[in-house]
Structure 1
């Protein structure tokens, strides 16, 4: 055998080995809407770990949760589902579970003892009829107020507002300084998150849940009516270009010092982190004024049925990666969230995330409406709050009446 023949045989063997290795990879097309800078950095944590353990991630990202969800639903109904899709905890995926369109990951959950690692009330939202269908990724506090330290300093604001009266007095100072007081994301889903933050501050954790459960006395209470009043008053403190603005563009206004505050979930913190800003120096975080609790939502991964054994294996691997304690912490650091697992070391998380962990441990959290009411009811409430924001002529009594109808009839 000549040297050339040996070399060719050697190269052929390497190519065959390389091809076999590639074939061993478990391909996964993953749909998600994590497209902002901070979100992209967070999802890379999962991508890198998944690929390192034998997966082959194929990204199918679509900006905007509603747009991504519409594409996801369309693909499932057309019989061409992705391997996985990022979703939220709660009833949003219940219909797909009931119709048998999602794979469950019971074996992975049992092996990883998820029932011990995830708080019981959240674990219950991961499945249906005795099966676990969702792999929980992270928890988010939604009722945060992020603010620019330089803007506060320029406006002469010495401390975070402790009440809504103090808040509006501070917004007047920012307006007088020639800056935008509130960086407003002009989309109905964002507006509802601000409304929810105010609602919790006025009704507390228990009252928040009662309102979305359709309790008539709660919806007609002074606290609910005050919520509507405070929300409506915010119109005087946003800029004329707010309509249709994406949430991360509103965050950028605070990061750049063009605006004072933004009310948003703690994923906004990921944008500050990605921009190289330092908590406590460049920006601060506080719960909505007057709050003794926090509205929460959670990220999870759903696994549509594809009818392919290879995809089933990829789904199991992805679920395993997502619930890895180290991945949970690293993902949270990038995205600005906090881990779902209660058995991980959170000491390396920042002060905002530590507040979230403490609130969760103390039970001072109110599950967001998407967790506790149907998508139809949630959509009706979202439309209502968007309509109210766009129409100052709508009265508080009308909002009360329409909210009650939305959560009971939607």
Structure 2
């Protein structure tokens, strides 16, 4: 099993290196570009994994502001396709090791950045936070998550919610389900009702979406305090209540459909009425809601609906996309110019309504955030907080890699005891 998993990693690395050879998704080419008057603009290489509908549109909106405000620079889109950034992060690691960093790269706020900081890959951004007075406009708990020993290492662009249950109202009605399930037990009781109607109970994407589902089942089964305690030194991942949560996970996974290539086709199964439920972050809202050129153009509360993932009402399982300043960047000044756009009210209000996220800034124009996003703004300010596993808040990258390996093996053998041992070993090796 382990050999096959390692072979899969090797294939992934080969594929992302191939992508690097082909250039970014934006179709730009490396090197300075001519302005037509004999002068050359300096490129700013912005590395992300925003290539899908909604997220690519949001990036494009920020790019427009950047190029308008900074005519001396041209934007090089170095995005690498793949939900949650797994392929992008593998390629990024190879670039950092080769001492050829992009000018700025996307990273999840929280523990995910710790490895880059410890390796000396990032400049701290205290100077930028002081200049722009960002500590006054970002929530203090967010600044704490992206700080190490008083230094801030990234600029958060948004806040996402991981624990959202997306569902097709018609499929639920046809299955005799009156409302979205509020508890794990209700969810498990509803899944066979959908299956009996010939529909997929729960759609799922590539392997990372299985880890995403796991964090939601852990939170829904354990509750907020017990979930958050898992990431503290001395946490007991071998406890009976964790076993029960993993048993729930096994049952829920038994009702998933054939794995899709990524989260978008899994979400689309809900949109088409092929599946009842999908547990995915709120970036799915942009995909469901945005017009057809950037999404599916669906009507909320009719074609699709949402609720907190079962058992998680009152808790915001959060993550935040942010941008960094790598040491040795070719165009440091251009990177700082990009970070200023990413941090700005104008940039965040252009980006987030398209991305399906809410702004990291506290002073954003709330009138722009309607429908699902209005609910998210309200809940962010009132809910308990829990940090995402898959999306970099609660665990560092080696810890996540170990969890991902255990989930991958579980998908093949469905062995709860082996999964729990893998999680115990991952925590023992990586918890700080």
Q: TM-score category by the smaller chain?
A: 0.7 to 0.9
Aligned counterpart, 1:180: 200
1:44 deviates by 1.0
1:2-401 matches, within 5 Å, as: 19=37, 23=40, 25-54=41-70, 55-64=73-82, 65-187=85-207, 189-213=208-232, 215-216=234-235, 219-222=238-241, 224-239=242-257, 241-242=258-259, 245-273=261-289, 274-291=295-312, 292-306=314-328, 308=330, 311-369=331-389, 370-392=392-414, 394-395=415-416, 397-401=417-421
1:255 deviates by 1.6
1:130 deviates by 3.7
| Dislocated runs of 4+, deviation >4 Å | 214-219
Contact 2:46 2:102 in 1 (8 A): yes
Aligned counterpart, 1:11: none
Aligned mates of 1:39, 1:166 — CA distance in 2: 33
Contact 2:100 2:329 in 1 (8 A): no
- Structure 1, unaligned runs of 5 or more: 1-15
1:151 deviates by 1.9
Aligned mates of 1:253, 1:374 — CA distance in 2: 32
1:218 deviates by 6.7
| Mean Cα deviation higher: 146-155 or 113-122 | 146-155
- 1:262-317 CA distance string (max 9 Å, x none): 11111111210221112212111111112231211110112222354xx1211111
Aligned counterpart, 2:422: 402
CA-atom RMSD, angstroms? 2.2
SS in 1 for 2:120: coil
Larger helix proportion of the pair? 1
1:212 deviates by 2.4
SS in 1 for 2:376: helix
Contact 1:207 1:218 in 2 (8 A): no
- 1:324-368 CA distance string (max 9 Å, x none): 113213322111111111222324313433333233322511012
